[in-house]
A and B are shown apart, each in its own frame.
Chain A
Amino acid sequence: MRRYHAIPLVPALALVLMPFLPFVDTDALWLGLPRMMVWGGAWCVLLTVALLTAERMMARDSAAGERNQP
């Protein structure tokens, strides 16, 4: 497993854990919305950021690999 595999796992884990977090699964609101909607929505956005980062790292790794070839 490479470093770029781990980055998107963070938001994925945050989404899986969503119903277990007591400060998320509560009847209080954030920004006038259910906390679960805010938490889920925010981590979906961050998932895209994580995948963009992973893609950039993969491209950098493959460019470095090509440079190191004899």
Chain B
Amino acid sequence: MTILVYTFAGIALIGVLGFLGRRGPTVDLAEWTVGGRRFGTMTMWFLQAGEVFTTFTFLGLAGLAFSGGVAAMYALPYVPIAYVFLFFLARRVWSLGKARGYLTQGDFLEDRYGSRLLGTVGAVIGVVFVLPYLQLQVTGLGLIVKLVSGNATSGTLSMIIGCVLVIAFVLWSGLRGVAVTSYFKDAIMLIVLGVLIFAVPAHFAGGISAMFHKVAQLHPSALTIHTGPNDLTWFVTSMLSSAIGVAFLTLPHNWPAIMSAKDPKVLRRNYTWLPLYELCLMFPMVIGFAAIVVLPKSTNSNGVLLTLSQHALPTWATGIVVVAAIATAMVPAAGILVGISSLVARNIVRVRNERGQFWVNQGTVVVACGLALLLGIYRPDLLANLLLLTFSGLAQLAPANGIGFLRRRLVGKWPVLAGIVVGIAVVIYLTFAATTMFGTFNVGLIGLAANLIVLAVGAVIERLTGNAPVPDPPAVTNAVAEIELAA
């Protein structure tokens, strides 16, 4: 009962914080989506870090360490590796966005290739592949409450209340609401993980070092990458595929956060320091290793962090752990909603006037979150299948984005579009029809190879038929160059 009180108080608190983010009434989509491009280092830090720490990192990484041992470490390097790339790219992307008024990935593709069709296709891919990720946060919230209360009804109720509050504060405050809740989420998550990383190993094994010595003695294979579903091929290809996805900004909800920076120095500073923050990913992994020593192999891997917390901590402290876990579901869900709704309003529905665009955006927030909630309650497995496609599918936008970042136009819209279509078709085929064809090799990378081959062949045909892409008009190039120089 005490934990349920904490749970619903936590959900309400996150909702209230989201409402506090609002700076005043607005029907301006740029103000709502990217905070008027005025966010400084601190806000950007929590927005960018907030995208990294979701229910997957909090509960899923502990579960992955429990089931696959050090294979969970694949999640540590890919974001810092991508940050190296983004560190050098930040000024270019931000300047393009500022000069050309981008709010979304679809805006970028449409403008760089001079194609509304490509902008719409990019937006549709973004929405379709990110919707399962939104549902993952919603069902994650329900799972957390169900695990700690042992009651399915409480889980469903928490999903409904959580979704209503997320919709309400996102509509009211936009990205500013996400930023304020991100402060809270990261603060409580760090405190909780900081306590758990010492309390759990101390309680069950006499300390972190003693616990790992026990793992080395009883389960030495957990300390190496071994054969099975999480083998070396899986480790390396998953790491590379995820790094490509992050480095080329293929996740649509990354765009509003980057476009909201007041200047590219803010982004660059954060890309410099965020690799240190990534070290926190190892905290839930340590809890997962403790679970290897303590819990039977048949335990639900996603619940190991909460199960061990309940055993090692007093009830009130477990309540705080639950609030932190709920925050890792609600806050990323809010950020994803901002990304989805702006794509629909700007690049799919395409209402001409600004006011109409804003209301389409607001309607999409309600529909997208409502859909994720309904599917989460009634058909939790439907989107779970699509989730397999989220990262592999979105990675197919990497070549389009990568070429779009360049100053020179190398290819036109058709080769890029053909590459995306073939890449996604390959990913869908390998995910659902030929699941064992390439073993544990990441299907996103195979799709990407097919995508690049088609793109290259298309580019050659383009040149041979005299349809080489037209360079940007000098006025556009100069406007971007001026902003880049000033930044």
Same complex: yes
Q: How far is the CA of A52 from the CA of B202 in the complex (A)?
A: 36
Contact partners of B208 in chain A: CB under 8 A: 32-33
Task: Give the nearest-CB partner of A5 in chain B.
Answer: B88
- Residues from 196 to 215 in B contacting A, C-beta threshold 8 Å: 208-210, 212-213
Contacts of B272 in A (CB 8 A): 48, 51-52, 55
Which of B77, B271, B278 is the one whose CB lies under 8 Å from A18?
Answer: B77
| Complex partner residue of B216 from A9, A27, A41, CB under 8 angstroms | A27
Residues of A within 8 A of B282 (CB): 37, 40-41
Instruction: Mark interface residues in A26-70 (1 if CB within 8 Å of B CB, else 0).
Output: 111101111111001101110110011011000000000000000
**Contact assessment for B239 and A16 in the assembled complex, using a CB-CB cutoff below 8 Å:** yes
Stretch at the interface among B217-225, B447-455, B472-480: B217-225
**B232–A19 CB distance below 8 A:** yes
- In the complex the two chains form, what is the Cα distance from A50 to B240 in whole Å? 21
Candidate in B208, B216, B223, B279 with the most chain A CB atoms within 10 angstroms: B223
- A44-B276, A48-B275 are known contacts. Are A18 and B87 too (CB-CB below 8 A)? no
Known: A33-B212, A37-B70. A15 touches B80 (CB 8 A): yes
| Interface residues on chain B, size class | 35 or more
B window 108-165: CB within 8 A of A: none
- Output the least CB separation between A8 and chain B (Å): 4
Report which of B76, B212, B235, B239 forms a contact with A44, defined as CB distance below 8 A.
Answer: B76
Dominant SS at the B interface?
A: helix
Q: Are A44 and B80 in contact (CB under 8 A)?
A: yes
- By a CB distance below 8 angstroms, the chain A residues around B321 are none
Q: Given contacts A18-B77, A40-B77, is CB(A34)–CB(B87) below 8 Å?
A: no
Task: Answer whether residue B457 sits at the interface, using C-beta atoms and an 8 A cutoff.
Answer: no
B279 touches A41 (CB 8 A): yes
CB distance from A13 to the nearest CB of B (A): 9
* Minimum Cβ distance to chain B for residue A67 (Å): 16
- CB contacts (< 8 Å) of A16 on chain B: these are 77, 81, 236, 239-240
Question: In the complex, what residues of A have CB within 8 A of residue B87's CB?
Answer: 8, 51, 54
Bound CA–CA A42/B147 (angstroms): 35
B residues lining the A interface (CB < 8 Å) = 70, 73, 76-77, 80-81, 83-84, 87-88, 208-210, 212-213, 216, 220-221, 223-225, 232, 235-236, 239-240, 268, 271-273, 275-276, 278-279, 282, 285, 289
- The 9 tightest CB contacts between A and B, nearest first, are A32-B209, A15-B77, A27-B220, A27-B223, A51-B272, A8-B84, A47-B275, A44-B275, A36-B70
Q: Which residues of A contact B (CB under 8 A)?
A: 5, 8-9, 11-12, 15-16, 18-20, 25-29, 31-37, 40-41, 43-45, 47-48, 51-52, 54-55
- Give 27 CB contacts A-B under 8 Å: A5-B88, A8-B84, A8-B87, A12-B81, A12-B84, A16-B81, A19-B225, A20-B232, A26-B223, A27-B216, A27-B224, A29-B209, A29-B213, A31-B209, A32-B212, A32-B213, A33-B212, A35-B223, A36-B73, A40-B77, A44-B76, A44-B276, A45-B276, A47-B84, A47-B275, A51-B271, A55-B268
